[in-house]
Amino acid sequence: MFNIIARKTLLDYCKKYPVAAAALYEWYHEFENCDFKNFNELKQKYGNASIVADDRVVFNIMGNHFRLVVRLVFEFKAVQIKWFGTHTEYNKINVEEIKFKKGK
């Protein structure tokens, strides 16, 4: 079972992107009950997930209309939400360095 840090961050993104709220909630509830030991196991369930530097994983949300960037540490079963936005917005960020900023 994964600890997703912090649920409030997810709620902030749901307010900013209400059209994606149900899909984010679905990802959250599904992922918190997963027990992946490594990225290969994660890819079996989330085939479109991509790993990038600093233990970051990018998930496609709502058929690739949105992207979710998290930092995932398998050893500690911890997931830190870093960024969420549209596919177009994703193309404008540095996924390896982006940090959550309230209201952004």
- Residue closest to 59 by CA, chosen among 33, 32, 81, 34: 81
Tell me the residue type at 100: F
Look at residue 104 and tell me whether its pLDDT is greater than 60. Answer: no
For strand 78-86 and strand 3-5, is the pairing parallel, antiparallel, or unpaired?
A: parallel
Look at residue 3 and tell me whether its pLDDT is greater than 70. Answer: yes
* Residues 49-93: tens digit of each pLDDT: 999 988 999 999 998 899 999 999 999 999 999 999 999 999 999
Amino acid 100: pLDDT? 75
Tokens at residue 75, please? 């050893």
pTM: 0.92
d(CA 30, CA 104): 25
Tokens at residue 100, please? 């959550």
In angstroms, the Cα distances linking 3 to 19, 28, 72, 87 are: 25, 10, 10, 26
d(CA 82, CA 27): 15
Q: What are the structural domains, with CATH classification, of the chain?
A: 3-90 (3.30.2310.20)
Contact 59, 46 (CB under 8 A): yes
* Residues 20-53: tens digit of each pLDDT: 999 999 999 999 889 999 999 999 999 999 999 8
Amino acid 102: pLDDT? 64
